[in-house]
A and B are shown apart, each in its own frame.
Chain A
């Protein structure tokens, strides 16, 4: 015999609670964040290139200045070395001071430098 009031209803509905945003939403969000990050990286790379160009040109503008100063110093030392050589070798017959050991007019920086 059925109980008084009848049987209770059969529980057949699915019990699926909400468990956060869907996979598509997650994937989309992550892709968007990554996309923005890569966009910034790309922008940053372009900017880095320009910064490097700025740095290089600041040095290029200074090259003649520093080279001129260095050249004057090198010339001073060369002349001093030549005078020393002339003094030391003055008794040697046929000695040409400052004559290189190479048969060429191309400039070669001295191998031995006195600071």
Chain B
């Protein structure tokens, strides 16, 4: 079915292409999709903890986007730095883990094998460990359990 459209309406949506004002320093955005981000999440949390905490404290002061631009740039730079370091030292393991996540509905528990090699490599090369806050004391963290109940049905 066709419908009448006035000539003044445009078919494409209007996108505001105005760049950031010049007084705001430029920062390269982190061009990373969801699976690599999920794969690197705990290392970002470990590596950039100070910047992240600083940014969130700033956001709790004021929700205005203009208020925390400086802290936000630091957060992005730190995350970029970490991703570059990961790619430099553990590219093979990183790629293996995030492709596995991509293929498995982005579930950590289906990708323990590549995750362990990645964690091992990250600890050896960069000294970063994955820790899950709030794990009950005396209990093995879930990513290190040897025979979990929830696992992939096909080996």
Q: Which residues of A contact B (CB under 8 A)?
A: 40, 43-44, 47-48, 50-51, 53-55, 57-65, 67-72, 74-80, 83, 107, 114-115
Q: Name A71's contact: one of B42, B65, B135 (CB within 8 Å).
A: B65
Chain A residues with CB under 8 A of B20: 72, 75-76, 79
The one of B27, B51, B132, B145 that contacts A64, using a Cβ cutoff of 8 Å: B51
Main secondary structure of the interface of B (DSSP, over half): loop
Range for the number of chain B residues in contact with chain A: 35 or more
Chain B positions near chain A (C-beta within 8 angstroms): 13-16, 18-21, 24, 27, 29-30, 37-38, 41-42, 44-45, 48, 51-52, 55-56, 59, 62-69, 71-73, 75-76, 79, 108-109, 132-135, 141-143, 145, 148-150
- On whether the beta carbons of B149 and A43 are closer than 8 Å, the reply is yes
Q: Are A61 and B134 neighbours in the complex by a CB distance under 8 Å?
A: no
Give chain B nearest CB distance to A70 CB in angstroms: 8
- What are 29 pairs between A and B in contact, CB < 8 Å? A43-B149, A47-B149, A47-B150, A51-B109, A53-B142, A57-B132, A57-B134, A58-B38, A58-B41, A61-B45, A62-B44, A64-B48, A64-B55, A65-B52, A67-B72, A68-B55, A68-B71, A68-B75, A68-B76, A70-B65, A71-B72, A72-B27, A72-B29, A72-B65, A74-B65, A76-B18, A77-B16, A107-B62, A115-B15
Establish whether residues B30 and A69, one from each chain, have CB atoms under 8 Å apart when the complex forms.
yes
**A61-B44 in contact given A69-B29, A72-B69 (Cβ < 8 Å):** yes
Say whether chain A's binding surface is mostly helix, strand, loop, or mixed.
Answer: helix
**Which A residues are CB-close (under 8 A) to B41?**
57-59, 61-62
Task: Decide if A83 touches B18 in the complex (CB within 8 Å).
Answer: yes
